[in-house]
A and B are shown apart, each in its own frame.
Chain A
């Protein structure tokens, strides 16, 4: 199993550009989520999905879109990049979000810089 994979590892954007961060998992997990990590703030939930075709907002969703057309993939789109979106982005998955004692498995992260 590759686990949770993310591409790209690094990305530099100019303000106003758009891009998609890719996330895939091969563990047949129902639940997938995106977090952003900023210094001194831990990780914060951006969007999540409880299954294919179902997505919803987390605590910091503004400026981001997601879709979940398959169980395996959960891409995160930045519509118009802003310097405030400079961060490290982590994708995570677990068997089910309904059972909130489930361990979440994290990808290696994407380091995004917006100039």
Chain B
């Protein structure tokens, strides 16, 4: 079974500073990787995904992530954060569960807090 580890449970940063949220996964096969964002009191929303091709993936709201197969990492970055980026961020890997079924294996989440 695959697993996902988000290395930081909380990340506080100042507004307009860069941020990196770290994610490592365990898998010996091809993977599909996702970052989801959960704003306060809302459901999860897809930020970006890696399926194949270029290892640098661009998502919504200025976020990007880099897939590194040798290090089994998929870190999320943004060069300049805004107050509105305050949210919880989840890294996930897609796993084939049973016939016709997909399971997203989630990391524990990283709470990003932007301070003015």
Q: Which residues of A come within 8 Å of B, CB atoms?
A: 4, 31, 33, 35, 40-45, 48, 50, 56, 58-59, 90, 92, 94, 96-104, 106-109
Nearest first, the 10 A-B pairs at minimum CB distance are A42-B106, A100-B102, A106-B43, A106-B44, A97-B102, A50-B100, A101-B32, A100-B94, A108-B43, A98-B100
Interface of A, helix, strand, loop or mixed by DSSP: loop
Known interface pairs A43-B106, A94-B102. Does A48 touch B46 (Cβ–Cβ under 8 Å)?
no
In the bound complex, residues from chain A placing their C-beta under 8 Å from that of B84 are: none
Contact B108 A40 (CB under 8 A): yes
In the bound complex, residues from chain A placing their C-beta under 8 Å from that of B96 are: 100
Known: A42-B4, A98-B102, A101-B51. 15 other contacts (CB 8 A): A31-B100, A35-B104, A40-B108, A40-B109, A41-B108, A58-B97, A92-B44, A97-B97, A98-B100, A100-B96, A101-B49, A102-B102, A103-B46, A104-B102, A109-B42
Interface residues of B in 55-114 (CB under 8 A from A): 90, 92, 94-98, 100-104, 106-109
B45, closest chain A residue (CB): A106
A91 shortest CB reach to chain B, Å: 9
